[in-house]
A and B are shown apart, each in its own frame.
Chain A
Amino acid sequence: MGVRLNLFAIIGSIILLLVILELIRRRYLQERYSLIWIVTGTFFLLLSIRTDILYRISHFLGFYIPSNALFFFGILFLILIVLGLSVITSRLSVKNKILAQEIVLLKKRVADLEKSLRSPE
C-alpha cells in the first residue's frame, strides 16, 4: 500500500471515529448502537497504522493485494451493521404496532367512559 493511500486510510478512520463520538455526544446515536461502529472504526484505524498486521492477515487469507483485504473487511463490517439494523428495525416495527394498538384501545375506552359520564344510565 502506498504512503498516500496509507495516510488517507489513517485520516479517514480518525474522521470516522470522531464523527461517531460526536453523534453520541449530541445524542443522535445511542451508546447501545454505537459499540459496533466504534469497534469498526478502531479496527480500521489499527489496520491503517499497523499495515504489517493488514499484510499478514491478507497473506494468511490469500489476497494478492492487501488493500483488497481492507475492502473485504469494509464490506464484511457493512454487512454486519446493516443486518443488525434490519433486526433493530424489525423489533421497532413490532413495538410500534403494539403501541398503536394500545392507543386505539385506550381511545375507545376513553370515548366509552366519556359517553357513560354524559348520559348516566
Chain B
Amino acid sequence: MECKECTRVISRQIDRVTSEQETQAARAHARECPACRRRFNAMAGADRLLAKTLLAERLSDGFTAIVAERLAQADLAEISKGISKGLIAAAAGLGALIVVLLTLLMSSSEQGIPGIGRVGRVESGFELCCFRSKSFLSASMGEKVPRGASARTDGGGVLKLDGGRNFVLGQDTAVDMSHYHDGGKLVLEEGRLYVSSPDTDVQVDTFIAKVYGKKASFVVEHAGGGRTTVAVESGEVSLFNEAGAVTIATGEKSQVAEGKAPRNPSKTDVKKYFGWVRRWGF
C-alpha cells in the first residue's frame, strides 16, 4: 500500500467504514511508515476536536428553537405585507402555512435540545422564568397563582400577570386577558397584533403582540376603541411586548430556557426579553 492510499484508508477508518482487509493493509503499512503513523494520530486527533466543536456549534443556543422563531417572524412579516396589499386570500394561505410550521416546530418530541439552558421539563401546567428577577414560577393547570397583579381564567388554566408584563396561559384554556393596570381587558396601546390559526388571520393595528395559541381565546380591547375576540386553535401562545418581554409557551412538555435571551435574528431587541418558555423539542 502506498502512503496516499493509506491516508485515504485512515480517513475511512476514522469514519469506521473500512473493511477488515483495508484496515489490516493500512496497519501493515503504518508499521513500516513513521510518516503515516504520525499522520494517523494527527488526523484522528484533529477530527475528534473538530467533531466536538462542530457538534457544540450545532447544539448551542438551541438551533431548532431559533429556526422556529425565525420561521414565525418571517412568515408574520409576509402576512403583514400580504394584508397591506389587500391580498387576503394569499395571506390566509400563508397563515395556514405558518400554523403548520409552528405547530410542527412546537409540538412535543421525545428529543430534547441540549444547550439551551433548560431548567425544567413541565409535564403538566406550565413554568415561567423571569431572568432579571431570577424568579421562577410554576403552576399546575387550574391552580390559582397568588395575586402579584391579578390572575383570572375562565376555566382550566392560570393567567399570571407579573408587573404587567408577564402573561402565562394554561394550555387549552379560554382566557380573558387582563392588564393589571386597568383591571379589565388587555389594552393594546401600540404596535400590531397578529393572529394566525387554521381558521383565522387577524391583524389589529393597535398592538404590540403576536399570538399563537392552542385552543385559547382572547378578548382584546383597543385603546382607540373596539374589541377583538381571538380564537386560536393550535400552536403556542406568545406575546411580545415592546415595553418588556412577554413570551409564554404553555402546556405539557414545555421547555424552559434560562440564562440569556435566545439568539433572535429578527428586529426584535432581545435585550428586552427577560423571560420565555420554549416548547420541548419540535
Partners in one complex: no
- Which B residues fall within an 8 A CB radius of A? none
- Which A residues fall within an 8 A CB radius of B? none
